[in-house]
Structure 1
């Protein structure tokens, strides 16, 4: 189903700007990174890795744009408020949430409301919701 008009990208007060990830690198690759940092090309390892990731994303930008368009994915941060979900439920609609970025289900959303208003969640990035809501929707998250 369509996204409610009120589910526009917004900035939540407690939303982190980044997500921590862990990677394993071989010693030779790590040595190359350390050398580039020592030579002043990058301020630290994280700076190098972020730059490398952005370069790869830019390199594949056309493919990403086509996939986002084809899959009807919302880009960026999407906040689904209690009111958004109540509106969908009251209209007899089940939301199909597809986000490339960060989807946030408001803290005041109950598991029951989530179950009666969200049909499917597909997230390429991160999902912030209460543990109870995540547990209730576990079989709908892909």
Structure 2
């Protein structure tokens, strides 16, 4: 099942919205940099700052060590109905651990998911039907 693990691009078409609170002084400093043309807007500054911090962490290998320690997969991880049916036939259960985006195919039934998925830990985003997320709610961390 590792043949459907893909590394996410640094800049993707899909994104997740977050909200942050900043002090007035920090916000003013960001606005000044935008006004001076260093960044196109506040969002551009914040995205750049986050990417720079993540790059610094990666260079220090803190993220890599953590991924190895927790047996996490990085990037995009798709789980198809066929994948889960093979697990079910083998009597195996899945512990999903992803840093990035985990997607469970829309044709996966709640019954199949409950029979094959023991736990889900996603640092990033989980894409699955509302029905599936509801059925697996107690297994999502």
Using the size of structure 1 for normalisation, the TM-score is 0.89
The 3-state SS of whatever aligns with 1:48 is helix
RMSD: 1.7
For the residues of structure 1 that align with 2:138 and 2:38, how far apart are their CA atoms? 45
State the partner residue of 2:122: 123
For the residues of structure 2 that align with 1:29 and 1:133, how far apart are their CA atoms? 41
In 1, are the aligned partners of 2:5 and 2:75 still within 8 Å (CA)? no
Selected match of 1:26 from 23, 26, 35: 23
Q: Structure 2: 5+ residue runs without aligned partners?
A: none
State the partner residue of 1:60: 57
For the residues of structure 1 that align with 2:13 and 2:80, how far apart are their CA atoms? 18
Moved over 4 A (4+): none
- Residue pairs, 1:34-113, within 5 angstroms: 34-61=31-58, 62-113=61-112
**Shift in CA distance, 7/90, structure 1 to aligned 2, threshold 3 Å:** farther
> Shift in Å at residue 27 of structure 1?
1.3
The count of residues paired between Structure 1 and Structure 2 equals: 136
Using the size of structure 2 for normalisation, the TM-score is 0.90
